[in-house]
C-alpha cells in the first residue's frame, strides 16, 4: 500500500471523526481486573454505544488483583487473544502496579503486545489509564512517596500509562483525565466506592464514556443511556468525556508510520555487510532484499556476498492498524572491490589527539557512525573534534569505492572530572574542584586554571579554585607520565552575575540529567545535537557499572541500580560529569 502524505492522512482522520452519524461496529478484548469488572465496564460501554447507534462486540478476562504480567502468562487470556480478529485489545494493570512494580508492568505489557500482534497484526493496543486513590495510598506511602496523595499518585499513574502507550505505539483511553476533571470541577459527583479505590456507578460511567470516545472516535454527548444515574450528572460526565477526550483525540493516539532507511557497515568476513535501519523506535515489520537474489525479514541482518560487485539493497517496512497496512521503502547501493580499506592509529592505544589514516587510494570520504564528515584526505587528524569513535572511510581505487569496517576503539580517559557547588550570584562561594574516579589525585598531574582566557599562575596545580565573582572559568589537566601525555582533560564554566532582575546571556549547559533524584528512569538531554555519545555511570566508589549509547535526548533505565549516589560522564569527556541520586 502506498504511504499517504501526512496531510491526506489528517484529512482522512478528520472525516472519520466528523462522520458521527454512521453506525460503527468494533470487536474489543478487555484484559483487566476488578477495576474493569466492577459494574461490568465492557457491557456498560456496549450499552452506551448502542444508545448512540453503534455496536461493541466484546470478550473479557477480568481477574481481581491481576497484573499485566499475570495476563501475559495466563492460558485463558492467551486463548482469547488467539481467537483473533480483534480491532482493539484493552489492557489494564493492577491499580498500584505502574508505581510499585513499574519494570514488571512494562514487561507484562510487552509480553501481551507480542501475543496480540502474533494473532491480530492489525489490532490496536489500548492501555486503560486508571486513577489515583481518593486520598492516596496510606499503606504504600512510606515506601513510595508519590502515592501519599491523590494528586501525586494520579499524576504518576498518568505519566506511566502515557509512557506505556507510547512504547506500544497504540492508543490510550485516558480515564484518569476524565476523573481528574470531574474531581476538580464537579466534586459532588462521587466517583469512588467507600473503599476509596474502586469506581462507583458514576465512576464506571465516566470510564465508559471515555472508552466510547476513544474507541469509536465519536462525540460522547450523543449517548442517551444514563445507566440509572441522575440525568444532570450523566450529562456532566458525557460533556467531560467530550472536552477531555473527544476534543483532543490526537493527544491519545501514539500509532506511528513505518520508517525505512538503510545504513550498513562492513563486517569482518569476506564481502560481509551488517545492515540496520534507524527506526526512531518504530515497531514495524521488515523485508530486506540484498540485490543478489536473497531476502530476510530480520530487523538487523548480516549478509555475505559471494563475489565482488555492485548490489542494490532495498528495505520495505510495514505497520498495520485499523486503517490497513502502511508501507515505507528505501534502497541503497553497496560495492565490493579488489581493495579493502582499513583504519589505523599511531599507538597500540588511542589518544584523543591522535591521527587516524587508511591505505593510499585515489579519493577518500570519512564518516562517523555512517554520517559523512568534511574530511576527504588519507589522514584524519584530530578526530576527537567529531567524536570519540565510530569512524569509517570510503576509499576509491580504479573507480571502485568500498567502505571500511568501523573503527570502534575508544580513547583512553585520564579519570579526571570536575565539580562546582554554589552560586556566587547570590553571595555564595563556588568551590570549583578537580576530582578523580580513584577518589584522590596522583600529584603528578599538571593543573592550569584560567579566568576569561587568562592563566591564573598562583593557582597552578591547585585542585580547588574558589570562585567569588562573575567570569568564564576553565581548568585544564594533563598527566605527563600517562599513555597519552599530550591529551588534556578540561572543562569550562561561566558565571554571569548581572544586576538583579536583568537576565544576562545564558551559559551553555552542555548536558543535563532529570529527574534528580530518580527512581526507575533518568533522561539525558544535550543542549546541542550530537551524532552519538556514550554515557558512563559510576557508583560512589568510582566503579564503572553501566554504559549506554545516547543520541540527543535519551531515557536510561536505572531501576536495576541499588539506591545511592551515582556519577554520569561522557566517554568523550566534552562536558563536566553530573551527579544524580537513585532513590
pLDDT tens-digit readout, 382-406: 898 888 888 999 999 999 999 999 9
Give, rounded to a whole angstrom, the gap between the first and last alpha carbons of the chain.
49
Nearest-angstrom CA–CA distance, 464 and 473: 12
- Say yes or no to pLDDT of 294 above 90: yes
Write out pLDDT tens, residues 305-357.
Answer: 999 999 999 999 999 999 999 999 999 999 999 999 999 998 889 998 899 99
Nearest-angstrom CA–CA distance, 461 and 49: 76
- Say yes or no to pLDDT of 5 above 50: no
Nearest-angstrom CA–CA distance, 95 and 264: 45
Q: What does the pLDDT read at residue 1?
A: 31
Q: What does the pLDDT read at residue 508?
A: 44
- Residue 458 is given by DSSP the state G
Residue 400 parent element (H or E): strand 400-403
Helix H, strand E, coil C: the string for 371-387 is EECCCCCCEEECHHHCC
Q: Let me know: does 52 contact 218? Beta carbons within 8 Å.
A: yes
Beta strand spans in 39-87 (E):
55-62
Q: What does the pLDDT read at residue 7?
A: 33
Q: What does the pLDDT read at residue 498?
A: 54
Q: Cβ of 225: how many Cβ atoms within 10 Å?
A: 17
- Say yes or no to pLDDT of 10 above 50: no
Write out pLDDT tens, residues 191-249.
Answer: 999 999 999 999 999 999 999 999 999 999 999 999 999 999 999 999 999 999 999 99
Nearest-angstrom CA–CA distance, 552 and 514: 14
Q: Let me know: does 420 contact 457? Beta carbons within 8 Å.
A: no
Cell of 57: 462486540
Beta strand spans in 103-164 (E):
124-127
Nearest-angstrom CA–CA distance, 90 and 165: 11
Nearest-angstrom CA–CA distance, 558 and 541: 17
Q: Let me know: does 304 contact 324? Beta carbons within 8 Å.
A: no
Write out pLDDT tens, residues 127-156.
Answer: 999 999 999 999 999 999 999 999 999 999
Across all residues in the chain, what is the average pLDDT?
88
Nearest-angstrom CA–CA distance, 460 and 412: 24
Nearest-angstrom CA–CA distance, 565 and 580: 6
Cell of 163: 509512557
- Residue 4 is given by DSSP the state P
Nearest-angstrom CA–CA distance, 220 and 227: 14
Instruction: Calculate ∠ Cα 266-270-276, nearest 5°.
Output: 30
Return all residues near 227 (Cβ < 8 A) that are at least 6 apart.
44, 47, 48, 201, 204, 205, 208, 234
Q: Cβ of 481: how many Cβ atoms within 10 Å?
A: 8
Q: What does the pLDDT read at residue 259?
A: 94
Nearest-angstrom CA–CA distance, 98 and 91: 13
Confidence of residue 532 (pLDDT cuts 50, 70, 90): low
- Residue 405 is given by DSSP the state P
Domains of the chain listed by start with CATH number: 25-252 (3.40.50.1110), 263-336 (2.60.40.10), 344-403 (no CATH), 413-507 (2.60.40), 508-583 (2.60.40.3080)
Least confident span in 119-133, 189-203, 263-277, 551-565: 551-565
Torsion of CA 14, 19, 22, 23, to 10 degrees: 50
Cell of 67: 497484573
- Say yes or no to pLDDT of 15 above 60: no
Q: What does the pLDDT read at residue 293?
A: 96
What mean pLDDT comes out for the span 185-190?
A: 98
Instruction: Give the residue from 127, 223, 228, 125 showing the smallest Cα distance to 170.
Output: 125
Q: What does the pLDDT read at residue 267?
A: 93
Nearest-angstrom CA–CA distance, 477 and 465: 14
Which residue's entry shows cell 562536558? Answer: 575
> For 370, how many CA atoms within 13 A lie in the half-sphere containing its CB?
13
What mean pLDDT comes out for the span 542-569?
A: 74
Identify the top-confidence range among 17-21, 317-321, 463-467, 567-571: 317-321
Least confident span in 202-211, 315-324, 506-515, 560-569: 506-515
Q: What does the pLDDT read at residue 505?
A: 38
Cell of 424: 556566587
Least confident span in 11-25, 271-285, 364-378, 532-546: 11-25
- Say yes or no to pLDDT of 17 above 70: no
Instruction: Give the residue from 283, 264, 280, 284 showing the smallest Cα distance to 272.
Output: 264
Q: What does the pLDDT read at residue 556?
A: 79
Amino acid at each position: 500500500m502506498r504511504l499517504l502524505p501526512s496531510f491526506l492522512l489528517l484529512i482522512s482522520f478528520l472525516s472519520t471523526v466528523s462522520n458521527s452519524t454512521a453506525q460503527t461496529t468494533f470487536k474489543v478484548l478487555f484484559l483487566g481486573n476488578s477495576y474493569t469488572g466492577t459494574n461490568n465496564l465492557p457491557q456498560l460501554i456496549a450499552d452506551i454505544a448502542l444508545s448512540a447507534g453503534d455496536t461493541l462486540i466484546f470478550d473479557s478476562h477480568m481477574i481481581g488483583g491481576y497484573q499485566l504480567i499475570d495476563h501475559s502468562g495466563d492460558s485463558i487470556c492467551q486463548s482469547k487473544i488467539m481467537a483473533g480478529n480483534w480491532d482493539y485489545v484493552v489492557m489494564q494493570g493492577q491499580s498500584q502496579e505502574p508505581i510499585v512494580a513499574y519494570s514488571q508492568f512494562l514487561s507484562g505489557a510487552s509480553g501481551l503486545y507480542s501475543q496480540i500482534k502474533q494473532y491480530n497484526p492489525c489490532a490496536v493496543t489500548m492501555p486503560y489509564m486508571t486513577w489515583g486513590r481518593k486520598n492516596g495510598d496510606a499503606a504504600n506511602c512510606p515506601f513510595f512517596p508519590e502515592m501519599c496523595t491523590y494528586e501525586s499518585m494520579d499524576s504518576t499513574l498518568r505519566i506511566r500509562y502515557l509512557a506505556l502507550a507510547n512504547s506500544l505505539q497504540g492508543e490510550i483511553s485516558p480515564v484518569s483525565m476524565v476523573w481528574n476533571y470531574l474531581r476538580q470541577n464537579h466534586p459532588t459527583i462521587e466517583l469512588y466506592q467507600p473503599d476509596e479505590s474502586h469506581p462507583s456507578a458514576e465512576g464506571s460511567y465516566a470510564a465508559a464514556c471515555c472508552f466510547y470516545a476513544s474507541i469509536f472516535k465519536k462525540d460522547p454527548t450523543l449517548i442517551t443511556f444514563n445507566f440509572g444515574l441522575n440525568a444532570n450528572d450523566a450529562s456532566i460526565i458525557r460533556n467531560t468525556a467530550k472536552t477531555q477526550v473527544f476534543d483532543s483525540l490526537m493527544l491519545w493516539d501514539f500509532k506511528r508510520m513505518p520508517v525505512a532507511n538503510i545504513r550498513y557497515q562492513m563486517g569482518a568476513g569476506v564481502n560481509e555487510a551488517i545492515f540496520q535501519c534507524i527506526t526512531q523506535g518504530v515497531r514495524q515489520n521488515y523485508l530486506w532484499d540484498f540485490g543478489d537474489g536473497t531476502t530476510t525479514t530480520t530487523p538487523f541482518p548480516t549478509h555475505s556476498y559471494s563475489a565482488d560487485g555492485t548490489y542494490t539493497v532495498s528495505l520495505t517496512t510495514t505497520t498495520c492498524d485499523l486503517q490497513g497496512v502502511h508501507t515505507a521503502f528505501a534502497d541503497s547501493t553497496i560495492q565490493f572491490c579488489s581493495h579493502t580499506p582499513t583504519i589505523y592509529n599511531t599507538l597500540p592505544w588511542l589518544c584523543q589527539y591522535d591521527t587516524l589514516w587508511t591505505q593510499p587510494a585515489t579519493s577518500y570520504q570519512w564518516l562517523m557512525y555512517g554520517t559523512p564528515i568534511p574530511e576527504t584526505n588519507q589522514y584524519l587528524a584530530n578526530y576527537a573534534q567529531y567524536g570519540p569513535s565510530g569512524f569509517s572511510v570510503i576509499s576509491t581505487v580504479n573507480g571502485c569505492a568500498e567502505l571500511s569496517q568501523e573503527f570502534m576503539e575508544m580513547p583512553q580517559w585520564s579519570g579526571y572530572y570536575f565539580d562546582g557547588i554554589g552560586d556566587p550570584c547570590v553571595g555564595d562561594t563556588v568551590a570549583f574542584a578537580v576530582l578523580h574516579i580513584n577518589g584522590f589525585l596522583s600529584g603528578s598531574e599538571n593543573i592550569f586554571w584560567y579566568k576569561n582566557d587568562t592563566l591564573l599562575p598562583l593557582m597552578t596545580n591547585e585542585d580547588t579554585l574558589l570562585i567569588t565573582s562573575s567570569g568564564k572559568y576553565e581548568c585544564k589537566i594533563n598527566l605527563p607520565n600517562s599513555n597519552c601525555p599530550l591529551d588534556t582533560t578540561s572543562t569550562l564554566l561561566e558565571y554571569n552575575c548581572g544586576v538583579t532582575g536583568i537576565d544576562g546571556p545564558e551559559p551553555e549547559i552542555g548536558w543535563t540529567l532529570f529527574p534528580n533524584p530518580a527512581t526507575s528512569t533518568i533522561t539525558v538531554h544535550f543542549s546541542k545535537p550530537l551524532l552519538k555519545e556514550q554515557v558512563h555511570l559510576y557508583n560512589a566508589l568510582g566503579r564503572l557499572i553501566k554504559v549506554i549509547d545516547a543520541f540527543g535526548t535519551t531515557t536510561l533505565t536505572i531501576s536495576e541500580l541499588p539506591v545511592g549516589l551515582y556519577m554520569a560522564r561522557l566517554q568523550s569527556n566534552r562536558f563536566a560529569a553530573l551527579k544524580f541520586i537513585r532513590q
